[in-house]
Structure 1
Amino acid sequence: MKKRKIIPYDPKLKAYARSLRNNSTKAEIYLWLKLKGKQMHGYDFHRQKPIDRFIVDFFCYELMLGIELDGFTHESIEVQRKDEIKEKRLNQLGVSVLRFTDAEVKTQMESVLRAILDYIEDYEKEI
């Protein structure tokens, strides 16, 4: 078994992450119902996970995969710029990011799950 990479995080984000978990959006709740309990090929996902100076909506350590859900606030140029910075930093830390809109989760859940499963199948081919 390969050694797990230590991923830094800002401890000050723990309370905020807990608050986000307790105030999830509908889309986050819908996707969490499909990810929790190792339902995705036995992989363990976490919600609102602090990584570096960011919080990732969903994270699987074994896959080094972050999943981000973008609601209407992500339509602004400023938030999109912040998302780009976040994703670039996560990639530098070895974390791949899949990004979906809230609308996709609510209306096209099967496509969202297929994209996640495709990522997992590609990962499993590599190991």
Structure 2
Amino acid sequence: MTREPRQFARNLRKTLTSAEDVLWQALRGRRFHRLKFRRQVPFLNYTVDFLCVERKLIVEIDGKQHEWYAEYDSRRTKEIEHHGFKVIRFTNYDVMNDLESVLLRIAEAAVPPAASLPHPWPLSHSGEGKGA
């Protein structure tokens, strides 16, 4: 990784927006469902707001300027998702005025795919749901 993207990410970490700071306080230090989130992380050719590698989840907080960059954001999201990560986006307004709903959506997005979870009991094909 070159120094430039890392330095850019460092500078962003020092100058979080109010909404990013509010969300970071909820996510940092494994406070949120014991998941490890990092903030302002260089990823591919971008710097993403919040990254949970364990669940392959990226959370982006968009200010008003993102309305002007909708096409760019769409291409960026497609490229990131092509690498197997899920991207979810919120506005500054969402975070500042309805943090509970934002956290609920992040929790839903962070649920691992059912295919990767072991079944808690062996499946039986005969006598399903019937007593012996």
Q: TM-score category by the smaller chain?
A: 0.7 to 0.9
Q: Which amino acid aligns with 1:12?
A: E
Q: Shift in Å at residue 100 of structure 1?
A: 0.3
Match of 1:89 in 2: 79
Structure number with higher helix proportion: 1
- 1:24 paired with 2:16, answer yes
Match of 1:103 in 2: 93
- 1:72 paired with 2:52, answer no
- 1:61 paired with 2:47, answer no
Q: Shift in Å at residue 124 of structure 1?
A: 5.9
Q: Which amino acid aligns with 1:98?
A: I
Q: Following superposition, which runs of at least 4 residues in structure 1 exceed 6 angstroms of deviation?
A: none
SS in 1 for 2:59: strand
Match of 1:38 in 2: 30
User: Identity, % of aligned pairs?
Assistant: 34
SS in 2 for 1:24: coil
- Give, in whole Å, the separation in 1 of the partners of 2:115 and 2:22: 29
Q: Which amino acid aligns with 1:37?
A: G
* Structure 2: 5+ residue stretches without partners: 117-132
Q: Shift in Å at residue 62 of structure 1?
A: 0.4
Structure 2 length as normaliser, TM-score? 0.83
Greater C-alpha radius of gyration: 2
Q: Give the alignment's Cα RMSD to 1 decimal.
A: 1.3
* Equivalent residue pairs, number: 116
- Give, in whole Å, the separation in 2 of the partners of 1:35 and 1:125: 24
